Structure 1
Amino acid sequence: MSRLRLLIVLSVLSIIGILAVQAIWVRNAYALRERQFRQSAFIALQDVADDVAQLNHFTINRYAVTQLSPDYFIVNTDAPIDPVTLEAFIQRSLQQHHLITDYEYGIYNCETDRMVYGAYVSTSSSTPLTTGIQGKNLPKFPRYTYYFGIRFPNQTGFVAGQLSGWLWSTVAVLVVVMFFGYTLSVVLKQRRLTEVQRDFINNITHELQTPVSTIRVAADVLQSDAILQQPDRLKQYARVMGEESRRLQKQINSVLQLARSERNGFVLDREVIDLHELMTTVADRFAPYVTLGLMAPDARLQADRYHLETSLNNLIDNALKYCTTTPCVLLETRLERGQLIWSVKDNGIGIAPEHQKAVFHQFFRVTSGHTHNVKGFGLGLYYVHQVMRAHGWRLTLTSQPDQGSTFAIACPYLKSVRVNERKSECPSGAKVV
């Protein structure tokens, strides 16, 4: 167990380290590409300034480009220039330096201290957009008499597009991490399943050995000649063999029933069932510990009688086993919001909130310390949950430790069949409240 925990911790730390290193690499690569973009833009705009100077037959003896922000530059021209010519220079220079991205620019006039022309140039359109740009103010720079300002609004997207290799590598790392995490979860799930199966094998071995051993001892006694002279003792051992054989048959049936349902699913043989009648019959079987509270005037439904009766038996059997005082089980029915609600309520030890979902899992049993206080296979509530789901009914559990449990099932009833409201009587000790 400690090795597995150590493996999990080291694996998680490794994944975090890989993701952290990848994030740092991507951030550094982005910063490098961003610097390269600014340097390329600076050189390209310096070339534009040289082209303008050559066009006007003078030489610029200093750097003509000033960067005011990460995506905004101003370029000194020292002379007025035609917007069409300037735009041609800009386009050519940016393409030469592989800066294929949108930009907007404006030309400053020193005589009016205003921008005389401006346009937004998109790589997806060859026609500059000039609407709303002309006439705007540009800041005045004492060093520059004539200049134009240029901004790259999509600089972030352009730089990110240059990182396609890094982005794909990041995606590959994330995919590997996800597969690793999924593999780790499968390993943990298989480990838990192995532990559950081991507990199940231990439980079933003990549960099956006990009646088999008892039957073998009783059979040895019955084979002796002296037993024929003791009729009372003979009847006692015959009764023990009958009880243990029925117990063994019940345990085998529960395992075979689960195996059949897992292999073929629940094949429901639906028929019209009077739930009140069924509850009365089941309550008589568990008398005098069961009380009936049959409040629904109409309790007829479409269900598989065998699976429904077996589920009811399992719920009552659990209520009787997990009780430290005199068991008191209440079977109730009522109509609520157009549905038939029937429930099994007990005064048992209850179920802690952290176990209430797991009790419906296969082989799961709530333990006390490292031992099970009540013998069993952990199949009863799993079977009940499967039956309810096969019928399309909703099963809810309400429970608190030492305050008992209530299993409530909501299902549709047959509205077309009306039954006169009656008081059901439970024979042989089962009571109706």
Structure 2
Amino acid sequence: MSRALIRTLVILSVVAIVGILTVQAVWLRRAYALGERQFRQTAFVALQEVADAVARLNKITQTRSAVTQLSPDYFVVRTDAPIDPILLEHYLQDAFRRHRLLTDFEYGIYNCDNEQMVYGAYVSTQVTQPGKATGKRVSKARTHPKFPGYTYYFEIRFPGQGSLVAGQLDGWLASSAAVGLVVLLFGYTLWVVLRQRRLTEIQRDFINNITHELQTPVSTLRIAADVLQQPDIGTQPDRLSQYARIVGEESKRLQKQVQSVLQVARNPRTSLAANRTVVDLNALMTDLADTYAPHIRLDLQAKQALILADAYALETLLNNLIDNARKYCQNTPCITLSTRTEGQKLVWSVADNGIGIAREHHRAIFRQFYRIPTGDVHDVKGFGLGLYYVGQVVRAHGWTINLTSVVGAGSTFTLSLYAHNPLR
């Protein structure tokens, strides 16, 4: 399956997921709005019935609608006559029970003579058995705003209106949760498939690289062995010396390649810092400069560069960085090893004049088997383990590493750690 097809499928899947979630959210919002509207209509009808009952009790005739809604959960009911609190509460509970408005409410009665609320109560309705409800009244001093224009009226508020409407949407909420779960599982499955495909590609590239890298020295060794087995090779000392040198170089190359693979496989992160000793970083860099001369330049500003580290892991880390700097350079390599102190920290770096690393690859280059994609052509062969090993050593020792690079102008790997003081 091509990358373009996979990219298209991923985009279509994301669009489908977003569309499903959007539609579900819209329908859920509409269902909630419909529930609110039904609640308001039901409450309006029930309160109108209460107003009519109070009017009949006082033998007056309502000439206009008695109910005014001020907010989704707040109503004002005009009675045009004094109201008995106990009787009003009975009418309210009876009307709400008939219309199945089993929710808490609070009300207040306004007296036009003294222009203040004379009574207020909070009624909690609890369902004890299917179809039956009990009312628990808690009388409290309630303050309701005065509503101008009415003489006698009561105000009523439903504080649990939102919960009641949401409770009626159990089916919608359950379906939304199910759709959300399916979407999450689908997204996770898609992520696993893409990750597995990436790992498969990495494994395939690694096998191809290691096959090519190991076949080259093996083929060279086989040819050299055939030459050395010729009967007259002893009479050709120059030729004998040349092929003996080839055998030695290819053996070292093969050993280095095998070691680079086993290095990571055999050494978990914790064991990379198991054998810590005091290492003089300045002395180690000086030895490496002699080994890789004349391509190494030293800038050792730190007067004392003693660190507590695994000597073998540290030397291998430096060798990997130097080896990469030499391989990925189109001109004559110029590598700078430097040390300096910043407060209590020792900062050291490996800088080169190579081809550089694009910013989008800075985080990925420390992954196992990762190689910067260059299409189907790889001018420099490798396994993608060098910088992975560097990252493992840095994490095992608790150091920090930063990469600064400009494409075409080289890269600088900077590490910082606390220097070791032997006097402590």
TM-score where L is the length of structure 2 = 0.89
Matched residue, 1:164: 170
Structure 1 residue ranges without an equivalent (≥5): 419-433
* Identity across the alignment (%): 59
Equivalence map 1:300-339=2 (5 Å): 300-339=306-345
Aligned with 1:35 (options 34, 37, 44): 37
- 1:263: how far off? 9.2
* Cross-structure match for 2:179: 173
> Does structure 1 residue 210 correspond to structure 2 residue 211?
no
Letter in 1 for 2:76: I
Q: 1:234 aligns with which of 236, 240, 245?
A: 240
In the alignment, which residue of structure 2 is the partner of 1:139?
148
RMSD over aligned Cα atoms: 2.5
* Partner SS, residue 410 of structure 1: strand
Contact in 2 for aligned 1:49/1:75 (Cα 8 Å): yes
The equivalent residue for 1:80 is 82
1:425 corresponds in structure 2 to: none
Task: Quote the offset at 1:118 in angstroms.
Answer: 5.1
Q: CA deviation at 1:116?
A: 4.2
* Post-superposition offset of 1:63: 5.4
**Kept in 2: contact 1:115–1:138 (CA 8 A):** no
Structure 1 residues 7-406: aligned runs within 5 Å? 7-56=9-58, 64-109=66-111, 114-117=115-118, 119=120, 121=122, 123=124, 126-133=137-144, 137-141=146-150, 146-262=152-268, 266=272, 268-406=274-412
Shift in Å, 1:343: 1.1
Give the superposition deviation at 1:140. 0.8
Cα drift, residue 104 of structure 1: 4.0
Cα drift, residue 25 of structure 1: 2.1
Q: CA 1:25 to 1:367, structure 2 compared with 1: closer, same or farther past 3 Å?
A: closer
Contact 2:111–2:118 (CA under 8 A) maintained in structure 1: no
Whether the 8 Å contact between 2:55 and 2:62 is mirrored in structure 1 is: yes
Quick one: which amino acid aligns to residue 14 of structure 2? Answer: V
Residue pair 2:108, 2:155 contacting (<8 A) in 1 also: yes
Q: Deviations over 1:218-253 (max 9, x none)?
A: 111111223232211111111111111110111001
In 1: Cα distance, 2:309 partner to 2:388 partner:
18
| Closer/same/farther in 2, CA of residues 95 and 106 from structure 1, 3 Å limit | same
Separation (CA, whole Å) in 1 of partners of 2:148 and 2:160: 22
C-alpha distance in 2 between matches for 1:116 and 1:292: 90
| AA matched with 1:322 | Y
Task: Answer yes or no: is the 8 Å Cα contact 1:83–1:117 preserved in 2.
Answer: no
Q: TM-score, normalised by structure 1?
A: 0.87
Alpha-carbon distance, 1:380 to partner: 0.3
> What SS does structure 2 have at the residue aligned with 1:227?
helix
SS state at 2:414 partner: strand
Aligned equivalents of 2:343, 2:172: Cα separation in 1: 58
Partner SS for 2:82: coil
The one-character-per-residue Cα deviations of 1:98-139 (angstroms, maximum 9, x if unpaired) are 324344434345567x45435362639832332544xx5322
User: 1:36 is paired with a residue of what secondary structure?
Assistant: helix
**Cα displacement string for residues 331-352 of structure 1 (whole angstroms, at most 9, x for unaligned residues):** 1111112111111111111111
Secondary structure of 2:139's match?
Answer: coil
> Which AA in structure 1 matches 2:103?
T
